């Protein structure tokens, strides 16, 4: 007896057998029941999701005279001929090998003939996007006014390559990738019927490798069974399909999260000793960090198909890292993927990426740096005030009010303008004042200060923090000696302060990245030495 592969043996024979495409099968069933059958259909979607299978079932449904409306019986001569591929009234054409205008002209001649036994002649053209433009043009008139006994079904993995003039003459149905959960359920059904023993975790690995394709999943299962026999171990699946060991990926992600550079280098060495593909490892590592992030955002997500032990370990690592750091890991992995794909030294690039990932936890953002500086400055200021010793009893006088400024303070100066206020803020917080110098004073009223945002991204968002805005209001009230309010108005952003050659001359002379320029401007810093590391002469 000739062996039949699982993908052909388990090919859907009725609409109910199709997995993951209920939005299409239900529509087509209703169309057959109500006799609202269009003259042309376009089925688009990824490989192995059921396009040609649904086309065959549809051809049987509209030609079957024995079964229920919308459901072929699969026992009448018409259904059996279509199933075996010998039906004269249903022609399957490969668009890749019959793509010229001569083949389309021959098809136009054949459609004149009436069906031999069924109600309709059905032409299924697979990979229709491979037809030449003249061939498409030859089809236009036929699609616009086809004979009543002819139905066209086009299948393609690239619907965007089909001319608009063809699309407008067809009913289009987009097939989705089949969710992993549906793939696993179908594979379990096949294993049960065929007598295969395989764990749900192993089926989940096969489903992930299939990437939403039922045909690929069935072919991979066939490959695994051919190697191991009817009883399959999880380790065998990883070896046969070249899939990364889940434990190795978990070790790699944990080494990155814990910041262990030596462990990262050891894992890269093991990858090479095992003969794994570095790019496959990289993709698996990206999936691992994606799963870590998903486990924090949505722990019950169906894409996290794994054992309870793996799920607990995933959750543990995710809680150690936190969502913000996981996002940083993913951003770096995505940004460096092209480097690994194009390099001639994949091991070197992979080691560099893993070391960089392991160091991300030690890096601070600009916001964190500024916040730490503010806390440090506040600590020094409070310490200086607390250590002040009075030489004698202080004179008691009437308090002029809550916001009355001290005699030595800037409120007693004649200049109570914006520059004077900035000097006063500098005495409280130098970083705060440096940010404000990048803003523009729009208006100064008796009880209101109107400001326009600065030009760099950091200072422009500085007052978005309610606590910082509250501090600015307090500074204004203290300086002007009365209750003040702050209003941020729309308008032109402030021009950056002019830099004279000297302390910050290097910044003006060299085109530095935006974030570095912002930091230099906020902290009034400078770059020591030559930018390219050469000694100045």
Whether the per-residue pLDDT at 500 is higher than 60: the answer is no
Query: Do both 250 and 221 map to the same domain?
Result: no
Q: Which two tokens stand for residue 280?
A: 């496959």
Q: pLDDT tens for residues 275-296?
A: 888 888 999 999 999 999 998 8
Last residue of a domain, one of 299, 332, 362: 362
Query: Do both 197 and 291 map to the same domain?
Result: no
Last residue of a domain, one of 222, 241, 260: 241
Whether the per-residue pLDDT at 13 is higher than 60: the answer is yes
Whether the per-residue pLDDT at 153 is higher than 80: the answer is yes
pLDDT at 399: 42
Measured CA to CA, the distance from residue 287 to residue 253 in angstroms comes to 11
Query: Do both 252 and 351 map to the same domain?
Result: yes
- Answer with the residue of higher pLDDT: 1 or 74: 74
User: DSSP readout, 446-462?
Assistant: TTEEEEE--SSHHHHTG
pLDDT at 177: 93
**Alpha-helical runs (H) found in 145-277:** 164-167, 180-194, 200-210, 214-228, 234-241, 246-257, 261-274
User: DSSP readout, 302-357?
Assistant: TT----HHHHHHHHHHHHHH-HHHHHHHHHHHHHHHHHHHH-S-HHHHHHHHHHHH
pLDDT at 416: 59
Residue 375 lies in a domain: no
Query: Do both 79 and 163 map to the same domain?
Result: yes
β-pairing, 171-174 with 40-44?
parallel
Q: For residue 411, name the pLDDT band (cuts at 50, 70, 90).
A: very low
pLDDT at 407: 43
Whether the per-residue pLDDT at 128 is higher than 60: the answer is yes
Q: Is 186 left (phi over 0), alpha (psi -120 to 50) or beta?
A: alpha
Q: What is the mean pLDDT of the chain?
A: 81
Last residue of a domain, one of 196, 213, 241: 241
> Percent of the chain at pLDDT above 90?
39
Residue 388 lies in a domain: no
pLDDT at 537: 40
Least confident of 231-245, 344-358, 365-379, 477-491: 365-379
Whether the per-residue pLDDT at 385 is higher than 70: the answer is no
- Answer with the residue of higher pLDDT: 209 or 409: 209
Count of structural domains, the chain: 4
Query: Do both 136 and 221 map to the same domain?
Result: no
Once rounded to an integer, what is the mean pLDDT over residues 323-335? 91
220 lies in which domain range?
180-241
Whether the per-residue pLDDT at 157 is higher than 50: the answer is yes
Q: Which two tokens stand for residue 240?
A: 């046969």
Measured CA to CA, the distance from residue 210 to residue 207 in angstroms comes to 5
How many residues make up the chain in this entry? 537
Q: For residue 455, name the pLDDT band (cuts at 50, 70, 90).
A: low
Kindly report the number of other CB atoms within 10 A of residue 267's CB atom.
Answer: 23
Residue 405 lies in a domain: no
Query: Do both 251 and 200 map to the same domain?
Result: no
Q: Which helix (H) or strand (E) holds 518?
A: helix 514-523
Q: Which two tokens stand for residue 6?
A: 């699982």
For the stretch 299-312, what's the b/e string if a residue is b when 16 or more beta carbons lie within 10 angstroms of its beta carbon? eeeeebbbeeebee
Task: Work out the angle at residue 272's Cα, subtended by the Cα atoms of residues 268 and 273, and round it to the nearest 5 degrees.
Answer: 115
Q: Which two tokens stand for residue 30?
A: 């209703």
Residue 389 lies in a domain: no
pTM of the model: 0.62
**Contact, 454 vs 468, CB < 8 A?**
no
Query: Do both 42 and 130 map to the same domain?
Result: yes
Residue 393 lies in a domain: no
Q: Which two tokens stand for residue 537?
A: 């002469």
For 349-384, give the secondary structure using H, E and C.
HHHHHHHHHHHHHHCCCHHHHHHHHHHHHHHHHHHH
User: Domain with 416 in it: what CATH number?
Assistant: 3.30.300.180
User: Domain with 61 in it: what CATH number?
Assistant: 3.40.50.300
Query: Do both 237 and 270 map to the same domain?
Result: no
Q: Which residues sit opposite 126 in a β-bridge?
A: 94, 155
Whether the per-residue pLDDT at 98 is higher than 60: the answer is yes
Query: Do both 60 and 195 map to the same domain?
Result: no
Q: Which helix (H) or strand (E) holds 135?
A: helix 133-144
Query: Do both 199 and 167 map to the same domain?
Result: no
User: Domain with 358 in it: what CATH number?
Assistant: 1.20.272.10
Residue 473 lies in a domain: yes
Q: pLDDT tens for residues 20-63?
A: 999 999 999 999 999 999 999 999 999 999 999 999 999 999 99
Q: For residue 156, name the pLDDT band (cuts at 50, 70, 90).
A: very high
pLDDT at 55: 95
Query: Do both 190 and 166 map to the same domain?
Result: no
Measured CA to CA, the distance from residue 65 to residue 79 in angstroms comes to 9
Measured CA to CA, the distance from residue 208 to residue 280 in angstroms comes to 13
Query: Do both 149 and 31 map to the same domain?
Result: yes
Residue 370 lies in a domain: no
Q: pLDDT tens for residues 356-368?
A: 999 887 665 556 6
- Answer with the residue of higher pLDDT: 152 or 247: 152
Residue 99 lies in a domain: yes
Nearest alpha carbon to residue 250 among 297, 304, 288? 288
pLDDT at 24: 94
């Amino acid at each position: 007896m000739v062996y039949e592969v699982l993908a052909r043996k388990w090919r859907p024979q009725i609409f109910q057998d199709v997995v993951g495409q209920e939005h299409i099968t239900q529509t087509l069933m209703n169309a057959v029941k109500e006799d609202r059958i269009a003259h042309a259909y376009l089925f688009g979607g990824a490989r192995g999701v059921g396009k040609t299978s649904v086309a065959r079932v549809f051809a049987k449904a509209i030609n079957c005279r024995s079964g229920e409306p919308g459901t072929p019986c699969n026992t009448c001569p018409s259904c059996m001929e279509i199933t075996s591929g010998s039906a004269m009234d249903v022609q399957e054409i490969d668009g890749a090998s019959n793509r010229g205008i001569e083949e389309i002209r021959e098809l136009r001649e054949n459609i004149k003939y009436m069906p031999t036994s069924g109600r309709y002649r059905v032409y299924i053209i697979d990979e229709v996007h491979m037809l030449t433009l003249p061939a498409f043009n030859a089809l236009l008139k036929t699609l616009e006014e086809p004979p009543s006994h002819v139905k066209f079904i086009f299948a393609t993995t690239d619907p965007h390559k089909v001319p608009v003039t063809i699309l407008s003459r067809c009913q289009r149905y987009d097939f989705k990738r089949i969710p992993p959960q549906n793939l696993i359920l179908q594979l379990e059904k096949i294993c049960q019927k065929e007598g295969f023993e395989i764990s749900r975790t192993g089926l989940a690995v096969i489903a992930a490798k299939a990437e939403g394709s039922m045909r690929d999943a069935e072919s991979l299962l066939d490959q695994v069974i051919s190697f191991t026999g009817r009883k399959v171990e999880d380790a065998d699946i990883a070896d046969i399909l070249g899939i990364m060991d889940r434990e190795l990926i978990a070790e790699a992600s944990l080494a990155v999260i814990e910041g262990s550079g030596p462990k990262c280098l050891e894992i890269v060495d093991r990858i090479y000793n095992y003969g794994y593909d570095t790019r496959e490892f990289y993709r698996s590592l990206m999936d691992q960090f994606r799963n870590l992030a998903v486990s924090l955002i949505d722990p019950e997500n169906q894409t996290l198909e794994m054992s309870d032990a793996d799920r607990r370990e995933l959750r543990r690592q995710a809680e150690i890292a936190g969502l913000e750091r996981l996002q940083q890991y993913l951003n770096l992995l995505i940004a460096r993927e092209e480097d690994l794909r194009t390099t001639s030294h994949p091991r070197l690039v992979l080691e560099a990426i893993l070391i960089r990932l392991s160091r991300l936890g030690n890096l601070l953002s600009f916001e964190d740096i500024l916040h730490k500086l503010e806390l440090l400055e506040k600590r020094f200021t409070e310490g200086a005030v607390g250590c002040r010793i009075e030489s004698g009893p202080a004179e008691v006088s009437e308090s002029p009010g809550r916001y009355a400024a001290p005699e030595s303070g800037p409120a007693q100066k004649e200049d109570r303008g914006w520059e004077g206020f900035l000097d006063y803020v500098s005495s409280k917080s130098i970083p705060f004042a440096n940010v404000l110098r990048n803003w523009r004073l729009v208006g100064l009223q008796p009880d209101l200060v109107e400001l326009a945002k600065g030009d760099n991204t950091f200072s422009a968002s500085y007052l978005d923090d309610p606590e910082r805005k509250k501090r600015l209001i307090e500074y204004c009230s203290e300086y002007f000696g009365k209750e003040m309010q702050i209003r941020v108005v729309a308008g032109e952003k402030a021009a950056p302060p002019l830099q004279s050659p000297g302390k910050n001359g290097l910044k003006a002379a060299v085109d530095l990245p935006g974030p570095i320029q912002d930091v230099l401007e906020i902290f009034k810093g400078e770059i020591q030495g030559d930018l390219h590391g050469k000694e100045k002469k």
